[in-house]
A and B are shown apart, each in its own frame.
Chain A
Amino acid sequence: MSSTHPSPAPASDPDSGSVIGPSLSHRNPGPASPAAASGNGNGRGQGHGHGNGHGHGHGHANGTPGATPGQPSLVVHDLEHWFGSGANRRQVLDRVNLTIHPGEVVLLTGPSGCGKTTFLTLVGALRQVMAGSVQLFGQELAGAGRRERQLLRRQIGMIFQGHNLLRCLSAEQNVQMGADLLPGLGYRARRDLSRQWLRAVGLGDHLGKLPHDLSGGQKQRVAIARALAAQPRLLLADEPTAALDSRTGREVVELLRRLARDQGCSVLMVTHDPRIPDVADRLVEMEDGRLSEASITGRSLSGSVG
């Protein structure tokens, strides 16, 4: 695929076994895939953080996509949203419906100001749902309190238009801010996980660099590693390629899709980039607060999982 992804060899890393070892056999039998270094697709953090045995990560029903195959990651039903009140009230979202299944990559396009970002913040549990229903992993967001939303956000990876990295942290530490959200893992395990994610996004040589010293594409890849290090079940990305040139943008998006897929993580990506629709399983368009399914322009990739 892309030359920027070296092949990490997890077996040679003595520290890696306790963290990601168990899941390697489930999904990625060979270490040839770069994602194998970090792809613990089946088990989530709680499942195998404390065990080396194969049985641990597998049997846990803590929301693993594989554990409840029928359940969608995201179900949005008749979602409405508006800003202001009274005469100034402006409808932003109008009866939006969307369902995303585990492992699915959905692209969301539309003219600017059509409500895409508002939609992302609602789905990302960053905003209170006003009317309609948003179900994340079977949990209703409408009426959820601040604390519930905060906990739900830990299962959602977010990649922003700007990279939004912490300036005072090195690449490795930035990624670890994501890994630190995983419960039950020791410091060393979380650090090693962060390093593996950075290697998986091709930044193994830049672990200690500050965001300041990284290029735009490298920063965005650190942001991806950070989002994935928290082992999310849904990845929200808001124009992750906007600040990148076309080749780098393409690389970043493909990397994102492949890593997310290996994790069994669904992706909802807002983009204007005309060059990348082919990475998506589905394409949806938003206009004036309404969502409509668009024809898939690229080849369908949904069959390649598992």
Chain B
Amino acid sequence: MLDHLWPDRRIPLSWLLLTRQPGRLLVALAGISFAGILMFLQLGFRDGLFDASVTLHKRFAADLVLVSPRTMSSIAMASFPRRRLVQVMADPDVAGTTPVHWNFLLWRNPQTRTTRSILAVGFEPGDPLFTDPGLVERTRVLSQRGRVLFDALSRPEFGPIPAWYKQGRTIETEVAGKRVRVAGLVELGPSFGADGNLLTSSETFLSLMPDLPPGSIELGLIRLVPGADPASVAARLRAQLPEDVAIYTKQGFVEFEKNYWRSSTAIGFIFTLGAAMGFVVGSVIVYQILHSDVSDHLPEYATLMAMGYPLPQLLGVVAREGLLLALLGYLPAWLAGQGLYVLIRNGTKLPVAMDGPRSLLVFGMILAMCLGSALMAMRKLGDADPAEIF
């Protein structure tokens, strides 16, 4: 069958060179896979951390977001006058708004009695806050003062709240020195800045932070009527509102937050450097393997030249070896990456997943690694002198 489809087929020399030396092939594949896993790990962490910084941002039920211009990131939200949100309502394209309080408060672990900073989000119960369906109904219980909804995905250092709650226990603890009761669970997920989250009513929030200036909020969510263009409405509002607020589209707000972590912290650099190290280590391994492979077979290459095979064809053999190594090494790296991401998700609750762009990026890097090394190893082929083999 193959003979008819591909009559020009040759002996698959590259494949045989690799597979007839299983020990060497195994070492090469282990090296490439290791480099690939390292890249997947580092890039996964990097992207996971950036994504984790916007776990809440992505869920906001908003088309536009109002923040203070002094706000640089979600870990340090400055406040602005709530009046601005009322002013926004005057625009015909605005369908609704949600004023949101946002601050880090000290949560006492009810089991160990230690305290830890938790992100508290305060809003009017019944107002749309997140896009999650059904959440609005669950927030009704917050209209009772001193009640909070605890994020079940928060890190375990806050105490075994989800387990206790599911057992039906009444959980009371202190937030910012005031007694609160856990009235339910939500599932949001920790972000890079916040290890845990809790939702509460504006009233409870203000009682937890009595020093807040009256009439100030940290975040204003704006929903538009269907069909309105968020960018043009944002531009219009920006022109109307005074300088004490900044306005973003939802996507722009997400990017703004990610950009903070990317540019103002060492995270991006550290993990990109880690991935680059994987690339370098992998390149060295593949080069070593291919170089010694060419050296070991130099008399055989010289024999082929003596038989009349042109040098480019032999260079192609080495290039194909590199290509095969890349393909064979990528597969286990990808599979191991999947497994590691599951481990990371379970261990850190960071939203790390194998996505298309990263799979492609790592494949591209492995390909560059193998072909680059093959290119270097090819120079050795120039040493093959057919006149020396007699």
Contact = CB atoms under 8 A, between A and B. Distances in A.
Contact of A150 (B2, B10, B21, B305): B305
A164 B299 CA distance: 7
Contacts of A108: none
A173 B303 CA distance: 15
Contact of B390 (A160, A166, A188): A160
Given A117-B390, A168-B21, A158 B3 contact: no
A181 B10 contact: no
A160 B303 contact: yes
B299 A180 contact: no
A124 B389 CA distance: 12
Contact of A167 (B300, B308, B390): B300
B83 interface: no
A150 B303 contact: no
Contact of B11 (A121, A158, A173): A173
A129 interface: no
B153 to A, nearest CB: 54
A176 B16 CA distance: 14
B11 A186 contact: no
Given A168-B17, A168-B21, A169-B11, A230 B307 contact: yes
A186 B16 contact: no
A31 to B, nearest CB: 25
Contacts of A168: 13, 16-17, 20-21, 297
B387 A127 contact: yes
A216 B297 CA distance: 20
Q: How large is the interface on A (under 10, 10 to 19, 20 to 34, 35 or more residues)?
A: 35 or more
A124 B11 CA distance: 25
A154 B3 contact: no
A164 B11 contact: no
Interface residues of B, number: 29
| Interface-central residue, A156, A187, A210, by most chain B CB under 10 Å | A187
A210 B308 CA distance: 23
Contacts of B16: 168-169, 173
Interface string B1-32: 01100111111010011001100000000000
Given A160-B389, A164-B300, A153 B3 contact: no
A67 interface: no
Contacts of B386: 126, 153
B72 interface: no
B292 to A, nearest CB: 14
A152 B10 CA distance: 21
Given A168-B21, A176-B11, A230-B307, A121 B3 contact: no
A180 B3 contact: no
Contacts of A181: 307-309
A180 B310 CA distance: 13
Contacts of B297: 166-168
Interface string A155-183: 11010110010111100010011101100
A6 B6 CA distance: 33
Contacts of A235: none
A180 B390 contact: no
B387 A164 contact: no
A117 B2 CA distance: 43
Contacts of A136: none
B304 interface: yes
B305 to A, nearest CB: 7
Contact of B310 (A120, A127, A150): A150
Interface of A: 117, 120-121, 124, 126-127, 147, 150-156, 158, 160-161, 164, 166-169, 173, 176-178, 180-181, 186-188, 210, 226, 230, 238
Interface of B: 2-3, 6-11, 13, 16-17, 20-21, 297, 299-300, 303-311, 386-387, 389-390
21 contacts: A120-B390, A126-B387, A147-B310, A150-B308, A153-B308, A153-B386, A154-B308, A160-B390, A164-B303, A167-B20, A167-B297, A168-B21, A169-B13, A173-B16, A177-B13, A177-B307, A180-B10, A181-B309, A186-B3, A188-B3, A188-B7
Given A156-B308, A160-B389, A164-B300, 20 more contacts: A121-B387, A126-B386, A126-B390, A147-B310, A150-B308, A150-B309, A153-B308, A153-B386, A154-B307, A158-B307, A166-B304, A167-B20, A168-B17, A168-B21, A168-B297, A169-B11, A178-B307, A187-B3, A187-B6, A230-B308
